[in-house]
Structure formats: C-alpha cells, structure tokens
Amino acid sequence: MNEFFTSVHLKEQLCMGCINCIKRCPTQAIRVRKGKAVITKEFCIDCGECIRICPHHAKEATYDSLEIMKNFEYTVALPAPSLYGQFNHLDDVNIVLTALKKMGFDSVYEVSGAAELVSEMSRHYVANNQDKWPLISTACPSVVRLIQVRFPNLLEHLLPICAPVDLAATLASKKAMQETGLPREKIGILFISPCPAKVTAVKSPIGIEHSEIDGVLAMKDIYPILLPYMKDSIDKVENLSISGRIGISWGGTGGEAGGLLSESYLAADGIENVIRVLEDLEDNKLDPLEFIELNACAGGCVGGVLTVENPYAAKIRLKKLRKYLPIACSHLENGDIEEGFWNDEVKYQPVFNIGKNMKESIENMARVESMYERFPKLDCGACGAPTCKALAEDIVRGVAKEEDCIHILREVIHKISGELSRLDTKK
C-alpha cells in the first residue's frame, strides 16, 4: 500500500506556473517551484479543486483506461448513481445498465443498490450509537482524508461503515464467483467513477484493509461510448436495476442523509463549506445533530471532476428518475453485513506538524511568526506559496528561502545597489 498515493497530479508540459491552483487548494498543498505547480502529496486530499480551476488543463486525475477490461475473463461494471444524471431524456436507469452490458461488461451491479444496504445499516448504527452523535458520513474519500489529517478530534465521529462502492464490490465479486465458478483473479470489478478521490480510495483505502475494486474508470470516458448502445437498448431493456429512491438519491447532496429517515441532520457540499462545518463542529458551535453528510464536490457526487454534465442539471435528472421508484429495492435479508463495517483503525496523520515534538514545534512556531512579520502580507503568490504565512512555514520546514519573496528580494537588491553605488563614489 503506497501511503501517499494521490490520483491528482500535474502534467508538467502544460503548467504555466500561474498561481490559480495554489490559491484554490483547500489544504495549501501546492507550490510553484521552478515555474511548475507541484503538489505535496502528504497534504493532498484529492478534492480536485486544482483540476477544476486550472486554465491550462495541467492538473489531471490518474485512473484506469478501458484497456483494463482486457485483463479479466469476466467483468462487472459498478456504475455510481451520478452516472444516471449524465444523460438527457433518460426515464429508466435500466437503459444505462443494459447498454453497459452491450458495451462489453459481463454483468452490472449498481452502487445505488449497495447504497440502500449501507443506508439500512447506517439507520441501525446511528440509532444505537448516540454517544457518537453527530456521526459523519464516510462515503466521500476526500472528506475522510481531510478529517484524518486536519481534524483528529472528529475521528471518533466517523461512521464506520463502508462506502457504497466498497460494499458493492464485495457483494459483486462474491456473486460473480458464485455464478461463474471463476477464481477471484479472473474477475474484474470495475467502478465507473465521478471523481479521482475514489481512485486513491482503492489504492490507499481508509477504514478497510483492502478494496475489492480492481479498476476505476472515469465517467467521462464511458459516456461517449455508452450513448450509441443506449440508443440501441431502448427497445430491448433488461431489468437489471436493484435500487429505488434512496439509492438513486445518493448521487446528489442530501441523498445519504435522506436515506437515514431522520430530521436531525446537516448536508453540506463544496470543500470550503465542508471545512467550515468541520471547524464549527470541532468548536461545538453546531446544534446537536444525529448525522452530518459531507461531500467535497458542489452538488454532491454529480459534481465530481470526472463527470460530464453540470452538477445541478444532473441532480434534477436524478430527482426525476427517482420520482416514482419504490423507496428502496435492496434490503438487508439477514441483518447487518459483516463486510459492510470498517475493519481498519483510522488514525490521525499529523502531516502538517511544524515540529517532531512539542519543544521543536514551539520553537518552529516562534520562527514562523517572526519570519511572517518580515513579509508584506500581500499573499501575492509570486514566491510560489499561496500566502505569506505559508511561505514562512515553508522556510521553517526548510523547503524555501526568504529571498523567494520578491518584496524581500527587492529590499536585498536595493541594499546591494546602494552599497555598489557607495563603492562607486569612493573612486
């Protein structure tokens, strides 16, 4: 397991060294060095803000190409519910599922179906764990990573239930082995994802030791290929859907909370808003709640950077698709599913610490403060850091120097030129 794998990365050739992404990154993980905006992997939470803002398309996500299907004898597609919102004039999700089979997947297992099982397990868990209220949703890997590196006090509030895609992968792989008799390695469980954070969640899972997902495909890669198959499928639709209103709703903000059938919840989206909610929660400023749903992307998963459609348009389409569906089509038949719970402890990862121990941290904090006093507080970004405070920290961490600040540099040059002119007049 690669501890600091991040899906989001820089395509150096396209990077112009501007300051758009460094200013937007919610964890200040990016610095412009030697004219390129490099990401400090330990600080990156894969939220995709830099991908959204980059005017030169220099930031991108790593994910698997469709070629990965060839590695397996039997492939199962796991469509995220946000996929259904990408299509215009869609009135039946089975058209998408039938088309997925036509395009080459051997079978389909809806993530929204597993989502309904997660909702049912969550309803029981929330009801039985009042001491952990408010419980925080853990379906968004960016949010979980953010809490792990920045909000250690809130770790105990994380809902220790697998994200729907992970439960779907566990159930789909079991089902495929049973139905085909093939060994696990020959079966490919492939997730059709709206976002890069899910790629990282597969390679470096948090909360579970190992993910059953074999590959993560981008929704925007699947979309153009699926369209003609969907047109073909309209007359011969197979009934493959296993989800109802609750499952489909998971694709947008409020869906996960809605599935809890509780009034006492808060649902927020957009990484800056998520940070504000977490700060308030940490400071006990929020009213007592049972559950908090947090999504890094505006609109929810439909707003992920690997989607095609405007998130708000997609969300309305999901509302239409779910309107007359039964409330839920997937139900727990034999009580909670053991593999649906987390099996790995989530520990605080203090990646931002300014010192290795308290003594060093105090010394370094003092150095940061005094360094910061020398800067003009313009947060201009010319040094490559998003703020003057960040540059001060970088200097103390040993990854930058004072003269990186062009204002300090100007003072230095001024001083040198003053001395040179004095030398000159001495002639």
Partner 1 sequence: MNDMIQMHYVVPADDFTRAGEASSSVKSKLKLMGVKPEIIRKVAIAMYEGEINMVIHASGGDIDVTVTPEEIVMVLKDSGPGIADIEQAMQAGFSTAPDNIRALGFGAGMGLPNMKKYTDELLIESEVGVGTTVTMKVKMV
Q: Which residues bind partner 1 (CB under 8 A)?
A: 116, 120, 244-246, 249, 254-255, 257-259, 261-263, 265, 267, 319, 322-328, 331
Nearer to partner 1 by C-beta: 246 or 405?
A: 246
Q: How far is CA 393 from CA 20, 56, 223, 369, 397, in A?
A: 20, 28, 44, 9, 6
Q: Which is nearer to partner 1, 13 or 130 (CB)?
A: 130
Nearer to partner 1, 92 or 282 (CB): 92
Alpha-carbon dihedral sign for residues 367, 373, 376, 377: positive
Residue 376 sits at the vertex; the CA angle it makes with 371 and 380, to the nearest 5 degrees, is 110
Nearest residue (CB) to partner 1, 219 versus 321: 321
Name the minimum Å distance from CB 239 to partner 1: 8
Q: Smallest distance, Å, CB 336 to partner 1?
A: 15
Q: Which is nearer to partner 1, 180 or 262 (CB)?
A: 262
Backbone angles phi, psi at 294, to 5 degrees: -130, 130
Rounded distance between C-alpha atoms, residue 214 and residue 1, angstroms: 14
Give the H/E segment covering residue 295.
strand 291-295
Please identify, using beta-carbon distances, which residue of 68 and 316 lies nearer to partner 1. 316
State in angstroms the smallest separation of the CB of 285 from partner 1. Answer: 23
- Asked if residue 125 lies in contact with residue 353, where contact means CB atoms within 8 angstroms, the answer is no
Residue among 114, 101, 107, 239 at smallest CA distance from 182: 107
CB of 293 to partner 1, least distance (A): 9
Q: CB of 137: closest distance to partner 1 in angstroms? A: 13
Instruction: In angstroms, give the least distance from the CB of 321 to partner 1.
Output: 11
Of 68 and 332, which has the nearer Cβ to partner 1?
A: 332
- Helix H or strand E encompassing 107: strand 107-108
How big is the CA angle at 400 (ends 398 and 404), to the nearest 5 degrees? 155
Q: Which is nearer to partner 1, 145 or 322 (CB)?
A: 322
Minimum gap (Å) between residue 140 Cβ and partner 1: 17
Q: Which is nearer to partner 1, 120 or 166 (CB)?
A: 120
CB of 123 to partner 1, least distance (A): 9
Q: Minimum distance between the CB of residue 127 and partner 1, rounded to whole angstroms?
A: 13
Q: What is d(CA 54, CA 381) in angstroms, rounded to the nearest whole number?
A: 15
Please return the burial class of 311, using the count of CB atoms within 10 Å of its CB with bins 0-12, 13-18 and 19+.
buried
CA atoms of 84 and 95, how far apart (whole Å): 10
Please give the sequence-ordered ranges of beta strands (E in DSSP) within 146-264, or none if there are none.
187-193, 215-218
3 state SS of 294: strand
